[in-house]
Amino acid sequence: MRLVLDWDGTVTERDTLDLVLQEFGDPEIYERVEAELEAGRMTLNEVIAAEFATVTASLDLVVWHVVEHARVRPGFGELARAHRPLIVSSGFHELIEPVLEREGLLDAVELRANSIEARPDGWRVHFRVAAPCEACGEPCKRGDLPVGVEVVYAGDGHSDHCVSLAADRVFATDELARWLDEQGVPYRPLTDFHALAAEL
Ligand SMILES: [Mg+2]
Ligand SMILES: [Zn+2]
Protein backbone atom coordinates (compact mmCIF):
# COMPACT_ATOMS: atom_id res chain seq x y z
CA MET A 1 0.00 0.00 0.00
CA ARG A 2 1.25 3.47 -0.93
CA LEU A 3 -0.27 6.49 0.78
CA VAL A 4 -0.51 9.60 -1.41
CA LEU A 5 -1.61 12.93 0.07
CA ASP A 6 -2.51 16.36 -1.19
CA TRP A 7 -0.88 19.10 0.92
CA ASP A 8 -3.07 22.23 1.08
CA GLY A 9 -6.32 21.72 2.98
CA THR A 10 -5.48 18.03 3.36
CA VAL A 11 -2.28 17.78 5.38
CA THR A 12 -2.76 21.40 6.41
CA GLU A 13 -6.07 22.34 8.02
CA ARG A 14 -6.37 25.47 5.88
CA ASP A 15 -5.18 25.91 2.31
CA THR A 16 -1.84 27.73 2.70
CA LEU A 17 -2.02 29.14 -0.84
CA ASP A 18 -5.27 30.86 0.15
CA LEU A 19 -3.55 31.99 3.36
CA VAL A 20 -0.78 33.64 1.32
CA LEU A 21 -3.13 35.16 -1.26
CA GLN A 22 -5.40 36.63 1.40
CA GLU A 23 -2.47 38.36 3.09
CA PHE A 24 -0.24 39.25 0.13
CA GLY A 25 -2.31 38.84 -3.06
CA ASP A 26 -4.98 40.81 -4.91
CA PRO A 27 -8.44 39.76 -3.64
CA GLU A 28 -10.24 40.97 -6.78
CA ILE A 29 -8.11 38.87 -9.10
CA TYR A 30 -8.41 35.95 -6.69
CA GLU A 31 -12.24 36.09 -6.79
CA ARG A 32 -12.29 36.47 -10.55
CA VAL A 33 -9.95 33.59 -11.45
CA GLU A 34 -11.46 31.20 -8.87
CA ALA A 35 -14.80 31.81 -10.62
CA GLU A 36 -13.15 31.07 -13.99
CA LEU A 37 -11.82 27.81 -12.55
CA GLU A 38 -15.27 26.78 -11.30
CA ALA A 39 -16.72 27.60 -14.72
CA GLY A 40 -14.05 25.52 -16.45
CA ARG A 41 -12.71 28.49 -18.39
CA MET A 42 -9.21 28.40 -16.87
CA THR A 43 -7.01 25.45 -15.90
CA LEU A 44 -5.77 25.13 -12.32
CA ASN A 45 -2.24 26.02 -13.42
CA GLU A 46 -3.48 29.18 -15.18
CA VAL A 47 -5.36 30.17 -12.05
CA ILE A 48 -2.37 29.61 -9.76
CA ALA A 49 -0.09 31.56 -12.11
CA ALA A 50 -2.53 34.50 -12.29
CA GLU A 51 -3.08 34.57 -8.52
CA PHE A 52 0.60 34.49 -7.58
CA ALA A 53 1.56 37.09 -10.19
CA THR A 54 -0.20 39.53 -7.82
CA VAL A 55 2.15 38.65 -4.91
CA THR A 56 5.20 40.91 -4.63
CA ALA A 57 6.23 40.33 -1.00
CA SER A 58 9.61 38.80 -0.21
CA LEU A 59 9.81 35.03 0.08
CA ASP A 60 11.19 35.36 3.63
CA LEU A 61 8.15 37.33 4.77
CA VAL A 62 5.68 34.93 3.16
CA VAL A 63 7.45 31.85 4.56
CA TRP A 64 7.37 33.45 8.01
CA HIS A 65 3.61 34.05 7.65
CA VAL A 66 2.94 30.48 6.50
CA VAL A 67 5.08 28.87 9.22
CA GLU A 68 3.36 31.10 11.79
CA HIS A 69 -0.21 30.26 10.68
CA ALA A 70 -0.30 26.87 8.93
CA ARG A 71 -1.47 24.01 11.13
CA VAL A 72 -1.28 20.36 10.17
CA ARG A 73 -4.18 18.00 10.76
CA PRO A 74 -3.86 15.98 13.99
CA GLY A 75 -2.04 12.68 13.63
CA PHE A 76 0.01 13.69 10.60
CA GLY A 77 3.37 13.20 12.33
CA GLU A 78 2.65 9.64 13.45
CA LEU A 79 1.19 8.77 10.05
CA ALA A 80 4.18 10.18 8.18
CA ARG A 81 6.71 8.36 10.36
CA ALA A 82 4.82 5.08 9.94
CA HIS A 83 4.08 5.22 6.19
CA ARG A 84 6.41 7.79 4.56
CA PRO A 85 3.62 9.20 2.35
CA LEU A 86 4.08 10.74 -1.06
CA ILE A 87 2.82 14.32 -0.95
CA VAL A 88 1.78 15.70 -4.34
CA SER A 89 0.93 19.38 -4.34
CA SER A 90 -0.02 22.20 -6.69
CA GLY A 91 1.71 24.45 -4.15
CA PHE A 92 5.40 25.25 -3.84
CA HIS A 93 8.44 23.52 -2.36
CA GLU A 94 9.51 26.88 -0.93
CA LEU A 95 6.36 27.16 1.23
CA ILE A 96 5.82 23.47 2.09
CA GLU A 97 9.30 22.48 3.22
CA PRO A 98 9.54 25.09 6.00
CA VAL A 99 6.30 23.73 7.52
CA LEU A 100 7.56 20.14 7.27
CA GLU A 101 10.79 21.28 8.90
CA ARG A 102 8.87 22.96 11.73
CA GLU A 103 7.11 19.63 12.33
CA GLY A 104 10.42 17.72 12.16
CA LEU A 105 9.07 15.74 9.19
CA LEU A 106 11.16 16.93 6.25
CA ASP A 107 12.71 13.47 5.87
CA ALA A 108 9.51 11.57 6.72
CA VAL A 109 7.77 12.28 3.41
CA GLU A 110 8.45 12.31 -0.31
CA LEU A 111 7.40 15.67 -1.78
CA ARG A 112 6.47 16.60 -5.34
CA ALA A 113 5.40 20.20 -5.82
CA ASN A 114 5.78 23.23 -8.06
CA SER A 115 8.35 25.88 -7.31
CA ILE A 116 8.21 29.64 -7.10
CA GLU A 117 10.44 32.46 -8.20
CA ALA A 118 9.62 35.27 -5.77
CA ARG A 119 10.15 38.24 -8.09
CA PRO A 120 9.47 41.71 -6.67
CA ASP A 121 7.37 42.52 -9.77
CA GLY A 122 5.13 39.47 -9.16
CA TRP A 123 5.83 35.87 -8.27
CA ARG A 124 6.38 33.47 -11.13
CA VAL A 125 5.39 29.81 -10.79
CA HIS A 126 7.48 27.05 -12.32
CA PHE A 127 5.12 24.16 -12.91
CA ARG A 128 6.42 20.65 -12.44
CA VAL A 129 3.97 19.03 -14.88
CA ALA A 130 3.30 20.77 -18.18
CA ALA A 131 1.89 17.97 -20.33
CA PRO A 132 -1.90 17.53 -20.30
CA CYS A 133 -3.25 14.39 -18.62
CA GLU A 134 -4.98 11.93 -20.98
CA ALA A 135 -7.97 11.58 -18.65
CA CYS A 136 -8.80 15.23 -17.84
CA GLY A 137 -6.97 17.17 -20.53
CA GLU A 138 -5.05 19.37 -18.06
CA PRO A 139 -1.70 19.04 -16.35
CA CYS A 140 -2.69 17.08 -13.23
CA LYS A 141 -1.53 14.75 -10.46
CA ARG A 142 -2.82 11.47 -11.90
CA GLY A 143 0.57 10.65 -13.44
CA ASP A 144 2.16 10.75 -9.98
CA LEU A 145 0.33 7.71 -8.68
CA PRO A 146 2.55 4.65 -8.34
CA VAL A 147 1.50 1.62 -10.40
CA GLY A 148 1.39 -2.01 -9.35
CA VAL A 149 0.55 -1.22 -5.73
CA GLU A 150 -2.63 -0.37 -3.84
CA VAL A 151 -2.95 3.43 -3.65
CA VAL A 152 -4.74 5.24 -0.84
CA TYR A 153 -5.28 8.92 -1.67
CA ALA A 154 -6.45 11.80 0.51
CA GLY A 155 -7.48 15.22 -0.78
CA ASP A 156 -9.81 18.17 -0.41
CA GLY A 157 -10.23 20.11 -3.64
CA HIS A 158 -10.06 20.78 -7.34
CA SER A 159 -6.47 19.56 -7.80
CA ASP A 160 -7.55 16.13 -6.48
CA HIS A 161 -10.47 15.48 -8.86
CA CYS A 162 -8.79 13.48 -11.59
CA VAL A 163 -6.16 11.73 -9.48
CA SER A 164 -8.71 10.56 -6.89
CA LEU A 165 -10.58 8.63 -9.60
CA ALA A 166 -7.41 6.62 -10.27
CA ALA A 167 -6.74 5.67 -6.63
CA ASP A 168 -7.93 2.40 -5.06
CA ARG A 169 -9.27 4.10 -1.93
CA VAL A 170 -10.01 7.77 -1.34
CA PHE A 171 -10.36 9.88 1.80
CA ALA A 172 -12.00 13.20 0.97
CA THR A 173 -13.21 16.39 2.58
CA ASP A 174 -14.66 19.76 1.52
CA GLU A 175 -14.92 20.44 -2.22
CA LEU A 176 -13.48 17.05 -3.23
CA ALA A 177 -16.07 15.23 -1.11
CA ARG A 178 -18.91 17.23 -2.69
CA TRP A 179 -17.51 16.58 -6.19
CA LEU A 180 -17.17 12.83 -5.59
CA ASP A 181 -20.78 12.80 -4.30
CA GLU A 182 -21.86 14.36 -7.61
CA GLN A 183 -19.85 11.77 -9.55
CA GLY A 184 -21.32 8.94 -7.47
CA VAL A 185 -17.81 7.83 -6.47
CA PRO A 186 -17.46 6.29 -3.00
CA TYR A 187 -14.94 7.66 -0.49
CA ARG A 188 -14.32 7.80 3.23
CA PRO A 189 -14.60 11.18 4.94
CA LEU A 190 -11.25 12.71 5.88
CA THR A 191 -11.40 13.94 9.46
CA ASP A 192 -7.95 13.63 11.00
CA PHE A 193 -4.99 11.37 10.39
CA HIS A 194 -5.53 9.29 13.53
CA ALA A 195 -8.85 8.17 12.02
CA LEU A 196 -7.32 7.64 8.59
CA ALA A 197 -4.46 5.55 10.05
CA ALA A 198 -6.98 3.36 11.87
CA GLU A 199 -8.62 2.49 8.53
CA LEU A 200 -5.44 1.63 6.64
MG1 LIG B 1 -5.84 20.80 -1.48
ZN1 LIG C 1 -5.98 14.26 -15.06
Amino acid 2: pLDDT = 97
The pLDDT-based confidence of 183 (bands split at 50, 70, 90) is very high
Which ligand is the nearest neighbour of the Cα of 140? 2
- The DSSP bridge partners found for residue 155 are 172
Ligand 1 mean position, distance from CA 181 (Å): 17
Which ligand is the nearest neighbour of the Cα of 163? 2
The DSSP letter of residue 72 is B
Q: What is the CA 87 to chain-centroid distance, rounded?
A: 8
Confidence (pTM) = 0.95
| Per-residue model confidence as pLDDT tens digits over 81-98 | 999 999 999 999 999 999
In the chain, the domains with their CATH numbers are 2-199 (3.40.50.1000)
**Residues less than 5 Å from ion ligand 1, measured at CB:** 6, 8-9, 156-157
6 and 161 in contact (C-beta within 8 Å)? no
Ligand 1 mean position, distance from CA 16 (Å): 9
Q: Which residues have C-beta within 8 Å of that of residue 187, sequence separation ≥ 6?
A: 164, 169, 170, 171, 172, 176, 177, 180
| Per-residue model confidence as pLDDT tens digits over 102-147 | 999 999 999 999 999 999 999 999 999 889 999 999 999 999 999 9
Which ligand is the nearest neighbour of the Cα of 129? 2
Query: Can you tell me the distance from the alpha carbon of 164 to that of 154, in angstroms, rounded to the nearest whole number?
Result: 8
Ligand 1 mean position, distance from CA 121 (Å): 27
Ligand 1 mean position, distance from CA 148 (Å): 25
